């Protein structure tokens, strides 16, 4: 499978715990995006990388959130001290250098904070 993959697919955690999600983009794609989707809403942008550089962060990305893409390949999104409001689907997308910003999405990680 050459699509975007995300791990885990589901995560249940207790409030206050830290969680980390992983995204593996399509191998030749140099741009990687993280979005958050809550029930009944469209995806909302969190942050994006070009290679290993984090180029933009949304105001939604509070200081409890951190994202990395250390070697310009896979990326991790960590949430520290989780809150119930963090419960959502976290989506990763990637795109290459050509095209018109068409982004290819992974299956998402569904986070439930109890």
Partner 1 sequence: AQSVTQLGSHVSVSEGALVLLRCNYSSSVPPYLFWYVQYPNQGLQLLLKYTSAATLVKGINGFEAEFKKSETSFHLTKPSAHMSDAAEYFCAVTPGGSQGNLIFGKGTKLSVKP
Q: Footprint of partner 1 on this chain (CB under 8 A)?
A: 4, 6, 31, 33, 35, 40-45, 48, 50, 56, 58, 91, 93, 100-108, 110
Residue 18 or 62 having the CB closest to partner 1 = 62
Q: Are 107 and 92 in contact (CB under 8 A)?
A: no
Distance between CA atoms of 26 and 91, rounded to whole angstroms? 14
Please tell me the distance from the alpha carbon of residue 84 to that of residue 72, in angstroms, as a whole number.
31
Report, in Å, the least distance between residue 3 CB and partner 1: 9
In 3D space, the residue among 49, 55, 104, 99 whose CA is nearest the CA of residue 74 turns out to be: 49
φ, ψ of residue 84 in degrees (nearest 5): -60, -30
Minimum gap (Å) between residue 69 Cβ and partner 1? 15
Residue closer to partner 1 (CB basis): 7 or 80: 7
CB of 64 to partner 1, least distance (A): 20
């Amino acid at each position: 499978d050459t699509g975007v993959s995300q791990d885990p697919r589901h995560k249940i955690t207790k409030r206050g715990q830290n969680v980390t999600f992983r995204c593996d983009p399509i191998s030749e794609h140099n741009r990687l995006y993280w979005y958050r989707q809550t029930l009944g809403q469209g995806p909302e942008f969190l942050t994006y990388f070009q290679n290993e550089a984090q180029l933009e962060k949304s105001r939604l990305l509070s200081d409890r959130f951190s994202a990395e893409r250390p070697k310009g390949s896979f990326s991790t999104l960590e949430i520290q001290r989780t809150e119930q409001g963090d419960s959502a689907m976290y989506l990763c997308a990637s795109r290459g250098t050509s095209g018109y910003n068409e982004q290819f999405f992974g299956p998402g990680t569904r986070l439930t904070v109890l």
